[in-house]
A and B are shown apart, each in its own frame.
Chain A
Amino acid sequence: MTAKLLDIAGLSVRFGATAAVSEFFLSVARGEAVGIVGESGSGKSAAMLAVLGLHPPGTAVSAERHLLGGTDVRRALPRQLRALRGSVAAMIFQDPLAALNPLLPVGVQIAEVLVRHKGLSKRDATLAARALLFRVGIHDAGARETKYPHEFSGGMRQRVMIAAALAGDPALLIADEPTTALDVTVQADIARLIVQLQRERQMGLIWVTHDLALMAGIVDRVVVMYAGRIMEVAPVAALYFAPRHPYTVALLASLPRLDRKRASPLPAPQAQAAQAAGCPFAPRCGRRMAKCEDLPPLFEIGDSLAACWALT
């Protein structure tokens, strides 16, 4: 087994003429938790779907390197990809109601994955599904497994979704905004559950979010994305205490705080078409200079990588 669960470099995702993701790279090892932050439309979800080969039809995906659990996704057959999904890497989605089959009882949905990946018999799969439901905190699993997704509350639904994702015993868990659609009161519970499971099973975790505050206690490393590009990669402490990229700085400053006045609001996004080349953040950046006409490479500063000319 290779040490890296996911090793991807030079990933680009294009919807027709629009580049959703450019030059994306990421590697995740067992037991490691990586956060990906960025505004809506920054290409976070598009990149994660491409990682699993689940990009919608009509999308052009290319990568210099794309290894998932040691398998080259670019050359894998559809059958091989299906075997990878769920067992090597599984994904949790933002809206659990939309992501669960409304017409199947939840126990059946989880059991299906167990039959598929573990080769269990139907009866064994049903029992294992019950155990999984119990593990994710549905304590009357025996009574709840025959219920349909709409009969669960939001938080319970997300627990079911997590159980389904874990059923194939994945080495890598991709959580795409897993708490965004939930009540604030249950967000922390779900986040805690995911982290617990990650540690318990020594999984790799990719936590996609725009909630910087919640992420701080979860991940080891953070990737900051803007307009489909990586702006900064930093260990979590460095990101919060010594943000390098002006975008990261602005993002952290935009967190609502009661004890301080909001320093400088992040200017609203500009039309993306205007800047074909150059730093994508330049139109909104307070430290813009002439050199920003050229695309900045990632500079190494301490433990961080940041794509900004102002840091040279």
Chain B
Amino acid sequence: MSFSLPRLLGHRVPVTSVLGALGALLLAIVLLFAVAAPVLAPYRPTEIDLRQRLLPPVWVFSGSPRHLLGTDNVGRDVLSRIIWGARISLSVGVAASLLGALAGSTLGLCAGFFGGLTDRAVSWLIDVQLAFPFTLFAIFLLAVFGGGFVPVVAVLALATWVNFARVVRSQALSLRAQDFLLAARAVGVGTPRLLRRYMLPAVLPSIVVVASFSAAQAILTQAALSFLGVGVDPTVPSWGAMLDLGRNYLQTAWWMAIFPGIAIAITVLGANLVGDWLGAKLDPRGK
């Protein structure tokens, strides 16, 4: 974005960096939740108190100041569960994004650089992956192999690698034709070194940007999978599972579904804003 906000403290601040800072702040809050959950959460996330079932948030009539965001159908504190749920959401999102980045970038880089058969094989894989309705595929895999942290991360990485492979492949294709690679080869630089020292640094900014978007995508999909009942261990508090549970009480206890929904929205928004900002920041043409 080229336009700027009016002068802020005497400096012109580009809109993207304001939004980027906001995104970073949102992510920082979620990260704080995840790291300091035992300290921040007023209750244990699995603590059941059947006398305090379905309490509304504190600002609603009949709400209790002891449960700021209310309680669920078995009397668990919604706020505590959201705070603990950040752990699963963040770790799954980051792990799936990193795994996808590793696999997708490697394949994309090789496809773009070597071309020919390698490129056709990788492009075919990308097409197959994109042609598949992913959520259906994920449900199938998780139903067959069972849920849990590792399977969920693996399945989500299966969704995110395509983002990396496509972007990195197209960049590698245009890089390959550049003189500096030819010049490097003309002084005897070998292929592995060419990939590591000349190609990878050039595509790294794009990988970082795609990684932040992919983390957002993975968090959302993970919530969807939990919502559908094939996510991580149901005893571990997760936003998607809370959403699923809250769906049954939407008419009577809206807070059970709304607050985890807001938590998902904030995290995904934060990751996307940071991704946008990184994209603008790391694009050398933007300077």
B44 within 8 A of partner (CB): no
Q: Which of B116, B186, B189, B201 contacts A112 (CB 8 A)?
A: B189
Q: What interface size band does chain A fall in?
A: 20 to 34
Known: A93-B182, A95-B179, A101-B180. A86 touches B187 (CB 8 A): yes
A4 within 8 A of partner (CB): no
Residues of A within 8 A of B189 (CB): 82, 112-113, 116
A87 engages B188 (CB within 8 Å): yes
Residues of A within 8 A of B202 (CB): 102-103
Residues of B within 8 A of A57 (CB): 115-116
- For the complex, what is the distance from the CA of A98 to the CA of B186, rounded to whole Å? 14
- The residue on B at minimum CB distance from A91 is B186
Chain A 232-286 residues near chain B, CB threshold 8 A: none
- For the complex, what is the distance from the CA of A44 to the CA of B178, rounded to whole Å? 19
B115 engages A99 (CB within 8 Å): no
B190 within 8 A of partner (CB): yes
Residues of A within 8 A of B188 (CB): 82-87, 113, 116-117, 168
A113 engages B187 (CB within 8 Å): yes
B179 engages A90 (CB within 8 Å): no
A47 within 8 A of partner (CB): no
B187 engages A90 (CB within 8 Å): yes
Residues of B within 8 A of A95 (CB): 179
* Stretch of A66-74, A159-167, A184-192, A304-312 lying at the B interface: A159-167
A301 within 8 A of partner (CB): no
- The residue on B at minimum CB distance from A167 is B187
- For the complex, what is the distance from the CA of A165 to the CA of B185, rounded to whole Å? 11
A219 within 8 A of partner (CB): no
Known: A54-B185, A85-B186. A93 touches B197 (CB 8 A): no
Chain A 78-120 residues near chain B, CB threshold 8 A: 82-87, 90-91, 93, 95, 98-104, 112-113, 116-117
B183 engages A99 (CB within 8 Å): yes
A129 within 8 A of partner (CB): no
Q: Which of A54, A82, A102 contacts B180 (CB 8 A)?
A: A102
A34 within 8 A of partner (CB): no
- The residue on B at minimum CB distance from A150 is B284
Known: A82-B190, A85-B188, A90-B187. A99 touches B182 (CB 8 A): yes
Residues of B within 8 A of A161 (CB): 183
A52 within 8 A of partner (CB): yes
- The residue on A at minimum CB distance from B183 is A99
Chain A nearest CB from B120 CB (Å) reads 14
Q: Which of A54, A83, A116 contacts B186 (CB 8 A)?
A: A54
Residues of B within 8 A of A52 (CB): 186
Residues of B within 8 A of A86 (CB): 186-188
- For the complex, what is the distance from the CA of A101 to the CA of B187, rounded to whole Å? 13
Residues of A within 8 A of B179 (CB): 93, 95, 98-99
A100 engages B183 (CB within 8 Å): yes
- For the complex, what is the distance from the CA of A98 to the CA of B180, rounded to whole Å? 6
A164 engages B187 (CB within 8 Å): yes
A168 engages B197 (CB within 8 Å): no
B58 within 8 A of partner (CB): no
- For the complex, what is the distance from the CA of A101 to the CA of B202, rounded to whole Å? 9
A103 engages B201 (CB within 8 Å): yes
B265 within 8 A of partner (CB): no
Residues of B within 8 A of A85 (CB): 185-188
Chain B 181-226 residues near chain A, CB threshold 8 A: 182-190, 193, 197-198, 201-202
Chain B nearest CB from A119 CB (Å) reads 13
B198 engages A101 (CB within 8 Å): yes
B185 engages A104 (CB within 8 Å): no
Chain A 116-172 residues near chain B, CB threshold 8 A: 116-117, 161, 164-165, 167-168
- For the complex, what is the distance from the CA of A54 to the CA of B178, rounded to whole Å? 13
Chain B 163-184 residues near chain A, CB threshold 8 A: 178-180, 182-184
Chain B nearest CB from A20 CB (Å) reads 16
Residues of B within 8 A of A165 (CB): 186-187
Residues of A within 8 A of B187 (CB): 85-86, 90-91, 113, 116, 164-165, 167-168
Give per-residue flags for B113-125: 1 if the beta carbon is below 8 A from chain A beta carbons, else 0: 0011000000000
- For the complex, what is the distance from the CA of A82 to the CA of B186, rounded to whole Å? 8
Q: Which of A49, A104, A167 contacts B197 (CB 8 A)?
A: A104
Residues of A within 8 A of B178 (CB): 98
Residues of B within 8 A of A164 (CB): 183, 187
- The residue on A at minimum CB distance from B202 is A103
- For the complex, what is the distance from the CA of A99 to the CA of B177, rounded to whole Å? 11
Q: Which of B116, B180, B201 contacts A100 (CB 8 A)?
A: B180
A93 engages B183 (CB within 8 Å): yes
| Sampled A-B contacts (27; CB under 8 Å) | A52-B186, A57-B115, A57-B116, A82-B185, A82-B188, A83-B188, A85-B186, A85-B187, A85-B188, A86-B187, A87-B188, A93-B182, A93-B183, A98-B178, A98-B179, A98-B180, A99-B179, A99-B180, A100-B183, A101-B184, A104-B197, A104-B198, A104-B201, A112-B193, A113-B189, A164-B187, A167-B187
Can you list the 8 inter-chain pairs with the closest CB atoms, starting with the nearest?
A: A86-B188, A86-B187, A98-B179, A99-B183, A91-B186, A85-B188, A103-B201, A99-B179
Q: A residues near B, CB below 8 A?
A: 49, 52, 54, 57, 82-87, 90-91, 93, 95, 98-104, 112-113, 116-117, 161, 164-165, 167-168
With contacts A93-B182, A99-B180 known, what are 13 further pairs, Cβ within 8 A? A49-B182, A52-B186, A57-B116, A85-B187, A90-B187, A91-B186, A93-B186, A103-B201, A112-B189, A113-B187, A116-B187, A117-B188, A168-B188
